[in-house]
A and B are shown apart, each in its own frame.
Chain A
Amino acid sequence: MSRAVHYDAQEAYSPLGRLRIQPRCHQRCRKSQLQYELIIFCKPRQNLPRVADKPPNQGSIYAPAQLSVVGEEDGFLGAGRNYGSLGKRHHRAIFNLQSMSGQDPIEQRQTNHAKANNGIATYCRRLSCGPEEPRGVDFVGDVIQRLQPPPFGRSKGIVPESVPNGIFNDNSGGGCKHVARKQYGERLELSPSGLDDSESEASQSRRRPMETGERDQAAATRLKRNRTALMDKYDASSRRVVARYCNSQRTGVSIEALRIKLTPNWRSSWKDPRTLMAQQSSAQARLTLHDAFERFGATVTPDDKRDFANTGLKDVRDEAIRIERQLRARRTQKNMARLEPFLRGMEHYSKAVEVLCNGTPYLSWIWAPVKLMLMVSASLLLHSPSGAKGWNQRTFADSRSPDNHGLTRCV
């Protein structure tokens, strides 16, 4: 599972993280007061975003040779972003960076799940406006911190220097931020306390640029905090690695990067991003199920729907046996044994797919139509007389004897 780690203006050197964008010069965004975020998820080290050696206040994204992206500072990114040698047009210019953007909360949720489950670095353009923020974010490792209220439409009030425990009374801009914090803050891997004052710092630095000494100090404090959090998280054997890693980075420590470090065989588990791209998450599997179900359900009449919901695999088997018996009585022996592997396969399959179908009527719909189909075609074969309509009747208008073996129901 990928985890995102907080990344903001003061954590410009975080090897992996979130980049927040204030689309200042974006006209459309200004109108609707949207706030964009750049979230970068990353599993394999090759894709690990790293910041180039650049002073943190230049507002550029640089991509060094080893395909790392990222690094944005001061949070003032608009449409004119610099990607260094990888092009300037769009995030897609960055190799190995998947770009996703959900247009509504449902899509947003799906993209959240998808990006958290595949291992590629992901750029997620996230809509965060209105009081429902965080929209669709319900994944444990997801980024839910909203660092800074939008710069527009915000009163010029005094931003508190340090915010105690994530409660930030700012009703003018990002009013829902503290709700998010309350709800999700404790699920974050890093202690959110480190994120709080960085937030105020971020908004502060928007007004006046921080002096270098101040910035370094803030970064050092944060680094210390992060390190403590990580130390608590990992056991003693890993601490050495953690410490070394923390020291090697100037600011900010990514848990994900650390996890990679602590996993000895990360290299063998690395997969080609293109295959990862094709990889589907469980959420997407559910989506596939849902789509198939809806598609089929649209053609089925309500009566049949009810039947389908109440049909078990045993019913199908019983029906098949019954039909076989009837056919045998009529000396039209069919190869009904052919159905047996199908039913057995269904049995196994249903056990496997049960997990995905939990709490949904999907499961019985795999085999219920079989019963229906068998009944219909067998009733044609046995030319049921009752209420057969359309082609049933016509097809068998000239067929054999009029008796039917108690096939009471013409389906």
Chain B
Amino acid sequence: MDSLAAFEKLIEAYGKIGDMLPRFDRFAAALSHDHNFQALLALVYADILEFHRRAYKFVRRKCKFPAIVP
């Protein structure tokens, strides 16, 4: 059941990220050469990758103490 919750949480998190992503295609058409916009894109990228990093660490972590998880 834990994994079920984890899976749901993961999907939910991705959904939240998706909600937060504005319509970048239109912005990109209008502001493609704006440095502020590029900086924003970079920050969004960094944030998403940070999320991925933590999720990845969580998924790939090695557990040395099997007794903790029943």
Contacts and interface: CB of A to CB of B under 8 A. Distances in A.
Contact of B21 (A287, A349, A362, A396): A349
A300 B55 CA distance: 11
A345 B18 contact: yes
Interface string A18-48: 0000000000000000000000000000000
Contacts of B24: 345, 348-349, 351-353
Interface stretch (A98-106, A137-145, A160-168, A330-338): A330-338
Contact of A280 (B35, B49, B56): B35
Interface in B1-45: 2-4, 6-8, 10-12, 14-15, 17-21, 23-25, 27-28, 32, 35-36, 38-39, 41-45
Nearest to B48: A366
Nearest to B39: A280
B56 A352 contact: no
B21 A346 contact: yes
Contact of B55 (A334, A338, A369, A396): A369
B49 A285 contact: no
Most central of B27, B59, B66 by chain A CB within 10 Å: B59
Contacts of A287: 42
Contacts of A394: 63, 66, 69-70
- Name the residue in A281, A340, A341 with the highest tally of chain B Cβ atoms < 10 Å from its Cβ: A341
B59 A353 contact: no
A344 interface: yes
A376 B2 CA distance: 14
Contact of B35 (A117, A352, A377): A117
Contact of A390 (B4, B8, B63): B63
A340 B35 CA distance: 29
Given A288-B43, A351-B28, A395-B2, 14 more contacts: A280-B39, A291-B46, A295-B49, A296-B50, A338-B14, A342-B17, A356-B45, A366-B48, A369-B52, A369-B56, A373-B52, A373-B59, A381-B3, A390-B62
Interface of B: 2-4, 6-8, 10-12, 14-15, 17-21, 23-25, 27-28, 32, 35-36, 38-39, 41-46, 48-50, 52-53, 55-57, 59-63, 66, 69-70
Question: 9 closest A-B pairs (Cβ-Cβ)?
Answer: A342-B18, A345-B21, A352-B28, A280-B39, A338-B15, A341-B18, A292-B46, A288-B42, A285-B42
